[in-house]
Structure 1
Amino acid sequence: MERAALPERLYGHIQVDDAVVEIIEALEEQPSGASFCPPHTHVWFEFNYIYEGCMRTGFGGPLLDVGAGQFFVVPPGLEHCHEYEPQAPHRGVCLRWTFARAELPEDGEPAGVRAMLESLRHWRPGCYEDRYGLGERISRLFGEARASVPPASVRLTFVQILLALAAIRDPAGTVAPPAVDLSDAAFLRKIEIYLNDDRAERIDVRRLAASMHVSYNHLARKYKRLTGKTIVGRHTEVRLARALKLLEETDASMANIADIAGFGAAHYFSRVFKEAYGVSPKAYRSAHVYAQADVSAASGPVRESARESDA
């Protein structure tokens, strides 16, 4: 991903009336070669503006198309993800910031700047049209930075962008659909279906998390809370169950079983299997074959005796 940031000297704090704004980052970005940014959250505010091209972004629900002249805002703690077109990357800008209450003199009167910035915490997730001159303000910000305008002036321009954004009421655009809120039962069912999918050559739990619009860490924590198991441990149980079936019902080699069950290397499969069952896969298969033979031998006379008694 290609990124051009404002010079480091322009980052930092600026007090505007009753708010102290910390400018964390201001980037011009073009995600060349990148295709996906998985679900994640931030502790800061983020404002993304697209100048050219298109990307997709989501807030726990279906992804939205974001094109030229459109923008979206990500308040702290809001889970979101992005998709890019690797061969035709968009060109856009990303601004990141936080703010805090300023210490005013006893006779000082709050001017309401902090309240305006605070309102952005409740910004409705979505993709919106720029009918407010935000693009021009952003261009001025980067223009001032390149023209060696004093850092304080550049920071003030940054804050003016935030205030212009906070002043918007009922922005025109597409409000994001509600985030997917899976019930516990549905959550567990989806995981079990995925882990038990025989068609899946390789299980990718992080991709599963992305498909459920949650982070991998959230998926793992919730699964552990609901089941008492780790999702990696459950994944291993499923693979072992698949391997047992193959050992009992086929004459496939250990290498093939390891590959089909999703273990990859045969030596790794053998080690995990022995840790779980106390015997190697080969020993288990041999014991199973002998047991089946004993059952067959024992059942023959029983059937004959039954037929004789019936006669």
Structure 2
Amino acid sequence: MTIEDGFPGQRLLVMPRPRVRAALARPGTSHLVVTDAGYFPEARAHGMARLEGVPQSVVLVCVRGAGWCVVDGIRHEVAAGQVVVVPPDAPHEYGSGDASPWTLWWLHLDGRDLAEFLRVAGLSSSAPVRQLSDVYRVVALIEEVVQAMERDQTFASVLAASGAAWHLMALLCSERRVGSPRESAVEQAQEYLRQHVTERVSVDELAALARLSPSHFAARFKQETGSTPLRYQTQLRMARARELLDTTDLPVGLVADRVGYVDPFYFSRQFRAVHGLTPVAYRAQRKG
């Protein structure tokens, strides 16, 4: 026998559906609305079955213990540090583990940006479970949602909850870490490039480190980052160049050298291609 709620210490917030409809039609909240949210500590025998789904997306974050979910007929095990995201209208069930009941932070989401968030994050009925790299940050955002909904149901509180939820979904989109806590080959390559900003690193070298063919590696890098490895390295170098131009009096030639360019004229051309103005003109701009 399973139970849906009623756990000691739980927090459970449900927005009245007329207010949900109003929020979905109002500027500022129409993009993403939290309809329900809560916290279930050590939810022994917790379970839910929605065989026809619900109009909202269901987000569950397991912070302790373990559980399971079935989405569109496929079962997935859920461990501490993982998030489950069920798309709208997808049939689903989920429940707490028997040996080690899970502790959940959860929310339901609606809004016109929701489908795009799920698409960019790579979360779907076939891949609903994601390993979180920083579960505490995610929980802090859901707790912010819960606190806003506990305060009252004014537009200000609904907007605050929507903003925290938008931040949460953007974070899931930026991570895209599926199934395993290990860094992907592309993430490892990005870190390698960050640590070797001044060196000219080729695609062949990065591919060899990742144990992939150059073409396969380049395609994966572009898919996950939206950029080529060379352009990504150029962006890293330009970010460092901006910092040096803003915080030091180093001549442009020395700035070029510090970020890996032997030829200061080539550096200036690259800088202008990225920023639309020369390093000297950039330095002269008022900032802050």
Q: TM-score range by the shorter chain?
A: 0.3 to 0.5
- Structure with higher Rg: it is 1
